[in-house]
Amino acid sequence: MPDISTLTDRVAPLKRKGDAVYFLDQLALPGTVRYKRCATPAAVADAIRTMVLRGAPLIGCAAAYGYAFAAKGAGKADAAVLGRLAKAERLLAASRPTAVNLFWALKAMSGKTRSLCAAKTTRLYRELLAAADAVTREDVETNRRMAAHGAALLKKGSTVMTICNTGALATAGIGTALGVVRWARRLGKIKLVYALETRPYLQGARLTMWELQREGIPARLITDGMAAHIMKTERIDAVLTGADRVAANGDAANKIGTYGLSLLAKAHGIPFYVVAPSTTVDLATAGGDDIPIEERSEREVLEVRGLRLSPAGARARHPAFDVTPARLITALVTDRGVVKPPSRARLKKVLSKC
């Protein structure tokens, strides 16, 4: 049996060097590999909002650093630095609304600030930077645990379908759903991956295909509208997706198109697995209808990388996420175990495990 820790993250979407973070600019991939330096809360918030980086767990790691940067140079926690931290928290919280990992990370960081204040720290900034490093390191381990749980659900020689990008580019580690695929491939369980292109940001076409190619995993890119036909005419063994927020009842928000894919999977009798860390589960959100869905600029639909597709004056909509109801999810794969099928009670039980 191969060792999962040998599955390293060859793609580094976030690097911390000294007092700055460098984000692999996902707007430029796959053509150009370049990093964007961010050293202030505002720069990090801007990078999240404009999608230089994206993917729920990675957004959480980035926000943790953005928050820490507000304390730069601070030893003791005085009123001025606490004011800067509170402002940074508000700014970062306003960058994107759906992925709960952002809010989870900010809550963890502000909790850390409170405990450092109580302990009368003289190393506030250094301690907060170390806490952001810890959030990032923990994500690496979390990814590995999900990969092990998820791969166990797949049989040898599977053909799977996925949407968006849920790999190393979306996390600090090997990925969520794509992490499962990578590990399952090592175990001889993946024959072929169908990746949906994922209009309009094209996470599937640009990012997932790039990652799969680098890993040498056989893959075919399909447009979002081809999924039903492929499911009907070929054997698809499983659909694997990530999530940006899982509500207490198991409903899961993920990239726009995921809900449709879950309905298609149901119609074709294909297991539909959602792979998400426990930091993506939001027990404070009762159900899918309560999850805030980001509405992005219509320009991102009307244009592809600056090239206008529609006639001048045409209008568009751009809900960036949708919600898959728990009843369409065969199993939710978390770092703490598999919730099969997802329900409020089962979710609570699995999450209570350490």
Enumerate the active-site residues: 244
Residue 279 CB, shortest distance to ligand MRU, in Å, is: 11
Show contacts of 149-152: CB within 8 Å, 24+ apart.
149/333, 149/334, 149/335, 149/337, 149/338, 150/177, 150/179, 150/180, 150/183, 150/184, 150/240, 150/273, 150/275, 150/333, 150/338, 151/180, 151/183, 151/184, 151/187, 151/189
Q: How far apart are CA 219 and CA 256, in angstroms?
A: 21
Among residues 117 and 293, whose Cβ is nearest to ligand MRU? 293
Residue 167 CB, shortest distance to ligand MRU, in Å, is: 8
Among residues 186 and 199, whose Cβ is nearest to ligand MRU? 199
Q: How far apart are CA 31 and CA 294, in angstroms?
A: 27
Beta bridge partners of 295: 319
| Tokens 């090592």 found at | 186
Q: How far apart are CA 166 and CA 333, in angstroms?
A: 13
Contact 127, 71 (CB under 8 A): no
**Phi, psi dihedrals of residue 61, rounded to the nearest 5°:** -60, -45
Q: Which residues bind ligand MRU (CB under 6 A)?
A: 54-57, 99, 164, 166, 170-171, 176, 201, 203, 242-244, 254-255, 320
Among residues 201 and 259, whose Cβ is nearest to ligand MRU? 201
Among residues 54 and 336, whose Cβ is nearest to ligand MRU? 54
Among residues 241 and 249, whose Cβ is nearest to ligand MRU? 241
* Cβ-based neighbour number of residue 255 at 10 Å: 26
Residue 193 CB, shortest distance to ligand MRU, in Å, is: 15
Among residues 67 and 201, whose Cβ is nearest to ligand MRU? 201
Q: Which residue is nearest to ligand MRU (CB)?
A: 242
Given strand 331-334, what is the order of strands in its sheet?
219-222, 190-196, 158-162, 238-241, 272-275, 331-334, 337-339
Residue 286 CB, shortest distance to ligand MRU, in Å, is: 21
Residue 311 CB, shortest distance to ligand MRU, in Å, is: 27
Residue 338 CB, shortest distance to ligand MRU, in Å, is: 17
Burial 159-169 (b: 16+ CB within 10 A, else e): bbbbbbbbbbb
